Amino acid sequence: FDGNRIPGLPEQTWVNQLTWENLDERFATLETEYVGDLVADNANETSVDSYWLVNLRVGDGWQLSQQTRLSAYVGLRNLLDEEHYSNVRLNGTFGRFYEPAPGRSVYGGVELSF
Protein backbone atom coordinates (compact mmCIF):
# COMPACT_ATOMS: atom_id res chain seq x y z
CA PHE A 1 0.00 0.00 0.00
CA ASP A 2 3.06 2.24 -0.17
CA GLY A 3 2.21 5.46 -1.98
CA ASN A 4 -1.57 4.97 -1.73
CA ARG A 5 -3.91 7.66 -0.49
CA ILE A 6 -5.05 7.44 3.11
CA PRO A 7 -8.61 6.08 3.08
CA GLY A 8 -11.41 8.31 4.32
CA LEU A 9 -9.55 11.61 3.92
CA PRO A 10 -10.54 13.87 1.05
CA GLU A 11 -7.71 15.88 -0.49
CA GLN A 12 -9.80 19.05 -0.33
CA THR A 13 -12.57 20.33 1.92
CA TRP A 14 -14.03 23.79 1.96
CA VAL A 15 -16.75 25.45 4.05
CA ASN A 16 -17.86 29.02 3.49
CA GLN A 17 -20.54 30.92 5.40
CA LEU A 18 -22.13 34.26 4.64
CA THR A 19 -24.31 35.74 7.41
CA TRP A 20 -26.49 38.83 7.41
CA GLU A 21 -27.70 40.14 10.77
CA ASN A 22 -29.61 43.33 11.58
CA LEU A 23 -29.78 45.29 14.83
CA ASP A 24 -32.99 43.51 15.86
CA GLU A 25 -31.07 40.19 15.90
CA ARG A 26 -32.73 38.80 12.76
CA PHE A 27 -30.29 36.79 10.70
CA ALA A 28 -29.89 34.73 7.56
CA THR A 29 -26.95 32.42 6.85
CA LEU A 30 -26.02 30.82 3.55
CA GLU A 31 -23.41 28.08 3.80
CA THR A 32 -21.62 26.10 1.11
CA GLU A 33 -19.59 22.98 1.79
CA TYR A 34 -17.32 21.06 -0.59
CA VAL A 35 -15.88 17.63 0.18
CA GLY A 36 -13.41 16.29 -2.36
CA ASP A 37 -13.25 12.74 -3.61
CA LEU A 38 -11.74 10.08 -1.37
CA VAL A 39 -10.90 6.40 -1.32
CA ALA A 40 -12.68 3.94 0.96
CA ASP A 41 -10.12 1.17 1.28
CA ASN A 42 -6.40 0.69 1.87
CA ALA A 43 -5.88 -0.70 -1.65
CA ASN A 44 -7.43 2.49 -3.14
CA GLU A 45 -9.77 0.36 -5.27
CA THR A 46 -13.04 1.91 -4.03
CA SER A 47 -13.59 5.62 -4.54
CA VAL A 48 -16.22 8.08 -3.33
CA ASP A 49 -17.15 11.06 -5.51
CA SER A 50 -16.80 14.65 -4.36
CA TYR A 51 -19.89 16.72 -3.56
CA TRP A 52 -21.14 20.25 -2.83
CA LEU A 53 -23.82 21.09 -0.26
CA VAL A 54 -25.73 24.35 0.13
CA ASN A 55 -27.47 25.08 3.45
CA LEU A 56 -29.69 27.98 4.53
CA ARG A 57 -30.69 29.11 8.04
CA VAL A 58 -32.84 32.07 9.15
CA GLY A 59 -33.85 33.19 12.60
CA ASP A 60 -34.81 35.96 14.95
CA GLY A 61 -34.08 36.89 18.55
CA TRP A 62 -36.00 38.75 21.22
CA GLN A 63 -34.73 40.33 24.42
CA LEU A 64 -37.41 39.36 26.95
CA SER A 65 -35.77 41.10 29.90
CA GLN A 66 -32.38 42.51 30.76
CA GLN A 67 -31.02 39.01 31.37
CA THR A 68 -33.34 36.80 29.30
CA ARG A 69 -33.18 36.30 25.54
CA LEU A 70 -35.23 34.03 23.27
CA SER A 71 -34.03 32.96 19.82
CA ALA A 72 -35.74 30.85 17.17
CA TYR A 73 -34.43 29.57 13.86
CA VAL A 74 -35.34 27.33 10.95
CA GLY A 75 -32.95 25.84 8.44
CA LEU A 76 -32.79 23.86 5.25
CA ARG A 77 -29.95 21.36 4.86
CA ASN A 78 -28.88 20.20 1.42
CA LEU A 79 -30.93 22.87 -0.34
CA LEU A 80 -30.10 21.46 -3.82
CA ASP A 81 -30.92 17.86 -2.79
CA GLU A 82 -27.42 16.59 -3.62
CA GLU A 83 -26.86 12.83 -3.35
CA HIS A 84 -23.93 12.11 -1.04
CA TYR A 85 -22.87 9.80 1.77
CA SER A 86 -23.10 10.66 5.46
CA ASN A 87 -20.65 7.94 6.38
CA VAL A 88 -18.15 5.82 4.51
CA ARG A 89 -17.11 2.60 6.25
CA LEU A 90 -13.42 2.24 5.59
CA ASN A 91 -12.32 -1.19 4.38
CA GLY A 92 -15.95 -2.36 4.62
CA THR A 93 -16.64 -6.06 4.39
CA PHE A 94 -18.61 -7.57 1.49
CA GLY A 95 -18.47 -4.25 -0.38
CA ARG A 96 -20.51 -2.40 2.24
CA PHE A 97 -18.80 0.97 2.20
CA TYR A 98 -21.56 3.53 1.74
CA GLU A 99 -24.23 4.94 4.06
CA PRO A 100 -26.32 7.51 2.17
CA ALA A 101 -27.11 10.88 3.69
CA PRO A 102 -30.65 12.26 3.71
CA GLY A 103 -31.76 14.49 0.87
CA ARG A 104 -33.13 17.95 1.48
CA SER A 105 -34.26 18.32 5.10
CA VAL A 106 -35.75 20.99 7.34
CA TYR A 107 -34.85 21.61 10.98
CA GLY A 108 -35.63 24.23 13.57
CA GLY A 109 -34.95 25.16 17.13
CA VAL A 110 -35.35 27.60 19.98
CA GLU A 111 -32.85 28.85 22.53
CA LEU A 112 -33.56 30.52 25.84
CA SER A 113 -30.62 32.34 27.44
CA PHE A 114 -30.65 33.83 30.93
Q: What is the pLDDT of residues 73-96, one digit of tens each?
A: 999 999 999 999 999 999 988 878
- Domain of 100? 13-113
User: Would 25 be classed as within a structural domain?
Assistant: yes
Cβ atoms 5, 44 nearer than 8 A? yes
Domain count, the chain: 1
Residue 24 has pLDDT above 90, yes or no: no
Report the predicted TM-score, pTM, of the whole model to 2 decimal places. Answer: 0.82
Contact 58, 27 (CB under 8 A): yes
Beta pairing partners, 110: 72
Under DSSP, is residue 92 helix (H, G, I), strand (E, B) or coil?
Answer: coil
Judge whether 99 lies within some domain.
yes
Asked if residues 82 and 51 have their Cβ atoms less than 8 Å apart, the reply is yes
Residue 80 lies in a domain: yes
